[in-house]
Structure 1
Amino acid sequence: SISFIEDFSDFGQGELSSYSSRACQNLESLLNKNMRIRMTDGRTLVGLFLCTDRDCNIILGSAQEFLKSSDSFSQGEPRVLGLAMIPGHHVVSIEVESDSLVSKQGFGSNH
């Protein structure tokens, strides 16, 4: 899971700038990766991470909605949403597809 909330009160200006730069690089490395986002109402959205904003709202492309929480990216009956915006305050957890999952079985495959 990825946490977007950090306590910056102990950072000096230089440290905050350095931390912000690393955070941007980490976030950029997640662009165009498949993500699973669990929401406060129990729904799970799976899709391609396209962008976020300062309020931690997230835009997913090719998104699918799963009503049941699952431990696998490919379980349950999905509802196709397409482009979806998830308000940051509704995000409970974020998981990013691992490269090993892609190379072994492919994301979203029906194995």
Structure 2
Amino acid sequence: MEENGTDMQTESEQCVYECARQKLENLLNKSMKIRMTDGRTLLGLFLCTDRDCNVILGSAQEFLRTTDSFSQAEPRVLGLAMIPGHHVVSIEVETESLQSQGL
């Protein structure tokens, strides 16, 4: 009976893993805004992550002000950027309408 319980737990863990993986795959190449502990905000395309929650953004831009109005801040173009997971405060996925407006 313990084997069945172990098998069911393994299947359950596998389902959770697959669901999480699918969610991450759906975010690939989506525009993301990542706020960091030092107040900077990075905007770029989500390329990958790892077990430590490090994030790789492509075509990344850095904004020094923590404001929702990016037009006030002068961005710095970074290109490919790696954000250590322990520096991430929040992650927002930009909507398609915001992308079409050039933000």
TM-score > 0.5 by shorter chain: yes
Q: Is 2:96 the counterpart of 1:106?
A: no
Structure 2 length-normalised TM: 0.83
Structure 1 length-normalised TM: 0.78
Identity %: 69
Report the aligned-residue RMSD: 1.5
Counterpart secondary structure, 2:17: helix
Match of 1:77 in 2: 74
**Which of residues 7, 29, 33 is equivalent to 1:32?**
29
Q: How far apart are 1:101 and its partner, in Å?
A: 2.9
Does structure 2 conserve the Cα–Cα contact (< 8 Å) formed by 1:46 and 1:73? no
Aligned length: 95
Give the greater-gyration-radius structure (CA): 2
Runs of 4+ in 1 over 3 A off after TM superposition: 72-75
Q: How far apart are 1:75 and its partner, in Å?
A: 4.8
Q: Is 2:10 the counterpart of 1:18?
A: no
Tell me the amino acid that sits aligned with residue 68 of structure 1: R
Query: Which runs of 5 or more structure 2 residues have no equivalent in the other structure?
Result: 1-8
